[in-house]
Amino acid sequence: MKPRDRKDELAVAQDFRRQLQDRVGTRAPVKPREKIQKWFESDFGILSELAAKTLGDANYEGIVESLKKEVAATELASPHDEPLTRTILKNLCEEVEAACHEQGIPLRSGVAFGSTASMATEAARYPVFFTEASVITFSLGFLSFCSHASKLIAMSLPHKPAGTSFRIYFDIDSVFAHINANKDLKRQWMELIGAYAYGSGPTIVPSQGISGAPALTRIQLLASMERFAIAHEYAHHVADHGKRERASAEGDELGKLEEYEADFFAIRICRYLESKETARNFHLASGTGGVLLLKCLECVRRARHILVHGVDMTASHSHPETSARILAFDLIDEFLCEPNQQLYKHARDSFSAVVDRLWRGLQPLYVRMHKSGLRPI
């Protein structure tokens, strides 16, 4: 067979991605580009308001304007691609690809990246057989979950003024004193995890307004969660993971190892990206963004398990237990100097403990929902 070049292989991967989208179908309405452009024109006020809610006091008009131009210029590789999601994903994936390129990490024949209309929280990389290319997809539910969760986490952290700036407290006692003082936050956590576990998170979790210092924290958290997730999937592509005989009696040990490897790669890429940014992002550098994403996704999986079976699960089936993965982040810190090594570990452990305590509070509520007959879609 005549060897195909990189471009041909990427085209095969794009075709495979379209087939994967077909399998999911188009449950969420696909907005054609003209419709989005029109929406930008007619609803500029609403969009600016939405951006202001998200970004607080930042220069949101400029951001809406530049996003509008980017959406207009984004090529849609598949009829199922929704232009706004495609643009956001393109920016994120190209950033990780540039980081790989600058660090001399070969991307083989490349990646056909994109989203599916699924409401579940799925991030996946598929090898494209007989090629050196991969497909990386994120479900609508996954992207929307990062957005909702980053906002609620930021709102749950006490921010106190300190000179011209502010200090964020993330030790377990301060965070719970803040959450317990605000009934709305407890309800929102129950709704967020419950709605995504039920299977319709993107459509039923309302968009909350956020402003001031928490809005800035939210942007940093969202950026670090998304970059961690994308770099993790790129790791599976770079190392060509997943080509093995599945599931032995001892469990999929090689599969677990690949998850650790992908996390290591993701943290390193995140640290590299952070070092290039003009504004520092603690969550991107320390790995707390990744920790929070993994922990919150674990809550969704466990809540779903409860809604189906009535009881909590002890370990994840396809990924090594989340706490073991997070502990392994410590090994990557060996390359850091003090005080960062201690600081980063302390922050990751603290955030991890916060989500564990949150889960202990939420778990009985989902058991009660199961008892009253609620089952996921």
Residue 47 vs 229, nearer CB to Zn ion: 229
CB atoms within 10 A of CB 376: 17
Q: How far is the CB of 143 from Zn ion (least distance, A)?
A: 17
Residue 259 vs 298, nearer CB to Zn ion: 259
Residue span binding Zn ion (CB under 5 A) among the ranges 74-82, 139-147, 251-259, 327-335: 251-259
Residue 16 vs 126, nearer CB to Zn ion: 126
Q: How far is the CB of 52 from Zn ion (least distance, A)?
A: 35
* Amino acid found at 163: G
Residue 118 vs 188, nearer CB to Zn ion: 118
* Look-up of token digits 């993330």: 170
Residue 127 vs 194, nearer CB to Zn ion: 127
Q: How far is the CB of 255 from Zn ion (least distance, A)?
A: 9
Contact at 8 Å (CB) between 75 and 13?
no
Contact at 8 Å (CB) between 260 and 129?
no
Q: How far is the CB of 79 from Zn ion (least distance, A)?
A: 28
Site residues (CB under 5 A) for Zn ion, limited to 253-272: 259, 262
Site residues (CB under 5 A) for Zn ion, limited to 74-93: none
Q: How far is the CB of 298 from Zn ion (least distance, A)?
A: 14
Enter the tokens of residue 193.
């995890």
Site residues (CB under 5 A) for Zn ion, limited to 11-30: none
CA 282 – CA 288 distance, rounded (Å): 8
Residue 77 vs 262, nearer CB to Zn ion: 262
Residue 223 vs 262, nearer CB to Zn ion: 262
Q: How far is the CB of 232 from Zn ion (least distance, A)?
A: 6
Site residues (CB under 5 A) for Zn ion, limited to 293-332: none
* Look-up of token digits 């995504």: 196
Encode 259-278 in three state secondary structure. HHHHHHHHHHHHHHHHHHCC
CB atoms within 10 A of CB 312: 14
CA 136 – CA 138 distance, rounded (Å): 7
Q: How many residues bind Zn ion (CB under 5 A)?
A: 2
Which residue's C-beta sits nearest to Zn ion? 262
Contact at 8 Å (CB) between 127 and 103?
no
CA 270 – CA 284 distance, rounded (Å): 6
Q: How far is the CB of 316 from Zn ion (least distance, A)?
A: 11
Residue span binding Zn ion (CB under 5 A) among the ranges 158-166, 252-260, 299-307, 333-341: 252-260
Residue 67 vs 254, nearer CB to Zn ion: 254
Q: Is the peptide bond before 206 cis (omega within 30 degrees of 0)?
A: no
Q: How far is the CB of 254 from Zn ion (least distance, A)?
A: 12
Residue 237 vs 370, nearer CB to Zn ion: 237
Q: How far is the CB of 262 from Zn ion (least distance, A)?
A: 5
- Strands 133-139, 110-116: pairing is parallel
Residues of the shown chain interacting with Zn ion in the complex, contacts defined by CB under 5 A: 259, 262
